[in-house]
Amino acid sequence: MLENVQLVFAIFGFVTVIFIIIELVLDVDTFAGRLISKIKQAKLDKRKED
The pLDDT, as a whole number, for residue 28 is 59
Q: Which residues contact 37 (CB under 8 A, 6 or more apart)?
A: 27
The pLDDT, as a whole number, for residue 41 is 85
The pLDDT, as a whole number, for residue 7 is 92
Q: How many domains does the chain have?
A: 1
pLDDT digits (tens, 9 = 90+) for 6-50: 999 999 999 999 988 887 777 656 666 677 778 888 888 887 776
**Which domain range does residue 20 map to?**
2-49
Alpha helices for the chain (secondary structure H): 2-26, 31-49
